[in-house]
A and B are shown apart, each in its own frame.
Chain A
């Protein structure tokens, strides 16, 4: 029951809302996330990479590093501007689309967003100082002005994910007649191992996405013959970070799966397409879920039980454990999950190849195939990122707060959702075109290397 319903019961005049277009509202929310999340990976991971390069400049005095950091900071500021506005849209949508959720639980989780606001302040302030401060601050002061950006990118994502973690595994309040009483906001947000795991997994994901996307751009350059010292460094820094993060992501993802098994068994059943509760459940790779089972998939006996509970004979709960109206849409969740894991394994393999070549041969890989793979890895990691979030969010349906509030209780009663959805879709399409356009423009500005004679670059440098 929501606050609305409680009010209606208490007195006349507040009819419970009905929303014809719940699905559109959900898609509108999903669309906004799909735009915001890949952008903010740059807010999380990019500042650290830029600062690392600037630090190399401070250590070696080699102006090439400075040129690189400076060019990257231009990309960062453009993406930050777009991240800021898409994030603001999300804040509006919390109220515009989900007033039932806000009215009932705003007092429980809102604090997370309020703290987040201060991270954004710090980030916005110091991005202004950093980007306008090239040439205007001493090298050391300039470097120092970048440190708060790194920290704020971390705390900003920390607080927002604490809200998501609370929605997945709610605690820190008591619900009485639709009203929350006995609220413990800090406990609700931060005493939640589900959240800490999400944070670790997402933080690594950000480095994977940013690292492979950046490295991919220079890999394409190499395939086209642009391969000077500048390009090699510009490729190696993000690629090293992404390769290492991709390897670590595997055990962390495995941890995630075990946690889902424990906290949200229905989501696990949807992820695996497990119709019936099964002892020693098998794991299915690929395939499609129909009529309570996986068709055309490859079954690996007992593996699911082993992964989820570290016991090949364990009983794994199936979708039949809950009534049909409490089950999430299975195939959406399952396909998204398989995409993430499939891509994640391939990315880790790519990272391993890179690592072995770097450690054994002490140089960068030379095969063209390697660089083709890196070029594909960037977009693929974005797919994995979104796949993971779709698994998490759609897998939680029909609940907005797991086992406490259903999504249809959260939604607005206002009309016009399809109009809003269509408008927003158009605006975002324009935004996507604009972002691609500005990145290409920034890439096309000629590279001003400190000492041209020293740097053998074939063709004009890009990015």
Chain B
């Protein structure tokens, strides 16, 4: 693999993780929509809602990650894709707004009708967004995005058999992943009836997704022959095979209620498909444009790789912490323990004199800062001036702070 291809690997990993994580959040919305009415349905919805609560924002960032890596490392390809696939991308964007807003509003709803409206908006956008993103992927995979500013067809680039297939598949895969995860969470939370319902859904959805994926090969054969060739006889075959295998294993695991492992094999099935796509299409990115031709100049590629690896060093432990807390059940409803069980140390308020000292240092800082920033005309004094001004803000804030002497009690 060359340097020019490395960022593309990052982007594919990002897309796969977005599908595995955020795709499952979308799937949860799908199950909320199909839950029906009545108290059972409400419980199912609440379960789906609570499980994604702490994670959906972090899951969503994978999409932002993919966008930024692609536009930095393959600017020409990014611009061609975005300008030709304007319609599905815009629809996805609107779906993302609706979903985020519905999520933010959910906690404020009280009357049942409010909740119904919000939940419907949430579910509707949970289907719209993955479909639109899948359709956009279909346009790229079937080589319908030429290089240039809006050079492709605004409609047929995403209204075509491959796009529709991948769009529907995206919704189905999300529903399948969600059902597996939700069943696992229900088991952990000791809700056997919910677990049973999600297990049925997981089994059903996995069959639907599997049939769509394999049946879809027929569509690819006529509509996207290059991709088809790559997947069936080319390098992509490995990815396809792993995906099918992982899908089957998941089916058995879910059947046997071994969800913890099932989570991972389900995710593997998705990741393998992305790998297969990448391998099948290699080295072409867009028609007439190879990955190497599309890549940004070398310093940029190096900078991206360094930034992603360094970012990953910070990201990995943080994500691990979040998922450990969530999957370990710490954030489950009713999981509240030791509500301020450890009352922190009591401090007596500090003497007036300290506040006075803080304030006079603060005003000294202010005078120094203004002098260095506004009177002296040398570059580096500006930096010192800014530091002094921030010093003023912090010192004065602490000097006036309520905790010191609490003048409002």
Contacts from A to B (Cβ < 8 Å): 3-4, 7, 13-17, 52, 55-61, 63, 66, 74, 77-82, 84-89, 91-96, 99-100, 102-108, 110-111, 113-118, 120-122, 124-129, 131-133, 135-140, 148, 180-186, 193, 196-197, 200, 229, 232-233, 236-237, 240-241, 244-245, 247-248, 251-252, 254-255, 310, 355, 358-359, 362-364, 412-416, 420, 423-424, 427, 430-431, 434-435, 437-438, 441-442
Contacts and interface: CB of A to CB of B under 8 A. Distances in A.
A2 B405 CA distance: 62
A116 B64 CA distance: 9
Contact of B297 (A127, A180, A424): A180
Interface string B65-106: 101110111111011111110110110111011111101110
A412 B149 contact: yes
For the residues of A in contact with B, the DSSP-based class is helix
Nearest to B312: A118
Contacts of A107: 72-73, 75, 296-297, 300
B135 to A, nearest CB: 15
A183 B150 contact: no
B409 interface: yes
Contacts of A57: 344
B359 interface: yes
A324 to B, nearest CB: 27
Looking at A99, A186, A310, A427, the one whose CB has the most chain B CB atoms below 10 A away is A99
B344 A237 contact: no
Contact of B300 (A139, A148, A183, A437): A183
Contacts of B53: 128, 132
A88 B56 CA distance: 14
A124 B296 contact: no
B108 interface: yes
22 contacts: A14-B148, A60-B347, A63-B340, A79-B104, A95-B67, A95-B83, A96-B90, A106-B72, A107-B297, A107-B300, A118-B311, A121-B311, A124-B58, A125-B321, A135-B339, A183-B297, A185-B303, A229-B409, A248-B366, A254-B374, A413-B151, A427-B94
B65 A183 contact: no
B147 interface: yes
B356 to A, nearest CB: 9
B233 interface: no
B300 A412 contact: no
Nearest to A35: B97
Interface of B: 53-55, 57-58, 60-61, 63-65, 67-69, 71-76, 78-84, 86-87, 89-90, 92-94, 96-101, 103-105, 107-108, 110, 146-151, 154, 296-297, 299-300, 303-304, 307-308, 311, 314-315, 318-319, 321-322, 325-326, 330-331, 335-340, 342-347, 359, 366, 369-370, 373-374, 377, 379, 382-383, 385-386, 389-390, 392-393, 396-397, 400-403, 407-409
Given A99-B79, A99-B80, 19 more contacts: A16-B149, A81-B57, A100-B149, A104-B75, A106-B74, A114-B308, A115-B311, A118-B314, A121-B65, A121-B318, A125-B321, A128-B58, A128-B326, A138-B342, A184-B299, A248-B392, A412-B82, A412-B83, A427-B94
A3 B370 CA distance: 45
